[in-house]
């Protein structure tokens, strides 16, 4: 009934004006006072065709898209378009619209990344147990990660020139061009369309 009043009005109305219209239509005064008015107010806030700009309520012919939280509330209230609302909720939980194919691709990518990490860890442990020399171990690790499109940046223990766009100081700040020692190398990922510095080399003076 309230939505019909707003639609007929064609202009924004306050709660007081809406209550007057409802009273003129035969609604009991007790139903227009708290707590009787509370569910009406909550329903207006959830109505997809009602714009709430306190203290004003107005009708819009262009329904808005509910937030995931609102969609859950609408489902609980048994509102129509349940299937669509469920998709909105799922999309909100995933951080975006539901796309099952895209979700499957993301899951497979996650699995592939974790598997590659597990295989690398297994190989490092095997080489360590077999007491392989450090240079051999490093060479094996770099060869392994290269299969994932990773290229090393600098080498641990080497001296280089500090570049704030590429390096991360182990502590404090270092001026550009200063001589530094690489504490930990970085890696560039050779992506299909670009090169990304995914791990910066850590350095110290």
Q: Strands 168-169, 202-204: parallel, antiparallel or unpaired by DSSP?
A: parallel
3-state secondary structure of 26: coil
> Which residues of the chain are in CATH 2.30.22 domains?
149-205
Positions of the chain with pLDDT lower than 70, given as ranges: 65-100, 102
Stretch (H or E) spanning 17: helix 15-24
Instruction: Decide: 181 and 156 in contact? Cβ < 8 Å.
Output: no
Here the tokens at position 162 are 């500090």
CA distance 50 to 165: 50
Instruction: Decide: 171 and 162 in contact? Cβ < 8 Å.
Output: no
CA distance 134 to 138: 6
Fold held by 149-205: Nucleotide Exchange Factor Grpe; Chain A, domain 2 (2.30.22)
pLDDT for position 25 = 83
User: How many residues would you count in the chain?
Assistant: 205
Specify the pTM: 0.44
Here the tokens at position 41 are 């107010």
CA distance 7 to 4: 5
| Rounded alpha-carbon distances, angstroms, from residue 170 to 149, 180, 186 | 26, 11, 13
Relative orientation angle of helices 68-76 and 82-94, to the nearest 10 degrees: 150
CA distance 90 to 75: 13
Q: Taking the C-alpha atoms of 100, 106, 108 and 113 in order, what is their torsion angle to the nearest 10 degrees?
A: -170
């Amino acid at each position: 009934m309230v939505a019909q009043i707003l639609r007929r009005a064609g202009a924004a109305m306050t709660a007081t004006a809406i209550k007057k219209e409802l009273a003129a239509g035969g609604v009991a005064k007790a139903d227009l006072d708290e707590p009787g008015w509370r569910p009406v107010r909550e329903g207006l806030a959830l109505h997809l065709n009602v714009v709430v700009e306190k203290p004003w309520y107005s009708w819009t012919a262009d329904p808005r898209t509910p937030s995931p939280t609102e969609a859950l509330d609408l489902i609980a209230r048994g509102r129509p378009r349940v299937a669509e609302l469920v998709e909105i909720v799922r999309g909100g939980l995933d951080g975006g619209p539901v796309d099952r194919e895209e979700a499957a691709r993301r899951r497979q990518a996650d699995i592939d990344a974790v598997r590659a990490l597990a295989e690398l860890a297994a190989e490092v442990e095997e080489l360590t147990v077999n007491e392989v020399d450090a240079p051999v171990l490093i060479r094996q690790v770099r060869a392994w990660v290269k299969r994932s499109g990773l290229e090393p940046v600098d080498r641990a223990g080497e001296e280089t020139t500090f570049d704030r766009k590429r390096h991360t100081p182990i502590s404090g700040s270092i001026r550009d061009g200063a001589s530094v020692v690489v504490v930990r190398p970085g890696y560039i990922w050779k992506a299909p369309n670009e090169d990304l510095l995914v791990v910066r080399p850590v350095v110290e003076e």
